[in-house]
Amino acid sequence: MAVVYIGLGANLGDRERTIRAAVERLGADPEIEVVAVSTLRETEPVGYVAQPRFLNGAAALQTGLAPRELLARLLAVEQELGRTRDGPRFGPRTIDLDLLLHGEAVLEERGLVVPHPRLAERRFVLEPLAELDPDLEVPGRGPVQALLATLE
């Protein structure tokens, strides 16, 4: 079993309700245990597309699923909750579930990079991770607290 961290985000519709529904669906999966969910925070969108503000957070999960299998489950939950991928990259979305960390795994495969490639650049990811585990280490990058300090 690995401790896994996922990013949670939404900026269309009832953002909080959609994020909570995603967490519930993941928790209903017999191979995933939701251990903790961070506070949700209002954040500015990243990218070049004018769009509504996001609600972001993170969740800690425990699972025996391999990273690729877990990613497939995350994408399925996104689709169930109305996520489409026909708009611009980094554009508005009903739900966004990102695989941030999967135990100590360091992977770079087509369509899957763990730790998440932009994790260290994003306060809206690092703050919830630090809330969930102040001593969390990002494989190959160091402590979440140190990464957060470089953004301040």
Among 41, 83, 86, 118, the active-site one is 83
User: Does the active-site annotation cover 29?
Assistant: no
pTM, full prediction: 0.93
Distance CA 64, CA 66 (A): 6
Domain ranges of the chain: 2-117
Mean pLDDT value across the chain? 92
Q: Given this model, what pLDDT does residue 44 score?
A: 85
SS3 123: helix
User: Does the active-site annotation cover 96?
Assistant: yes
Tens digits of residue pLDDT in 58-115: 999 999 999 999 999 999 999 999 877 776 666 678 899 999 999 999 999 999 999 9
SS3 49: coil
Contact in structure between 25 and 73 (CB atoms under 8 Å): no
Question: What one-letter code names the amino acid at 147?
Answer: L
User: Does the active-site annotation cover 25?
Assistant: no
Q: Given this model, what pLDDT does residue 91 score?
A: 62
Contact in structure between 77 and 26 (CB atoms under 8 Å): yes
The CATH architecture to which 2-117 belongs is 2-Layer Sandwich (3.30)
Tens digits of residue pLDDT in 74-87: 999 999 998 777 76
Contact in structure between 47 and 89 (CB atoms under 8 Å): yes
Q: Given this model, what pLDDT does residue 90 score?
A: 62
SS3 101: strand
Q: Given this model, what pLDDT does residue 142 score?
A: 95
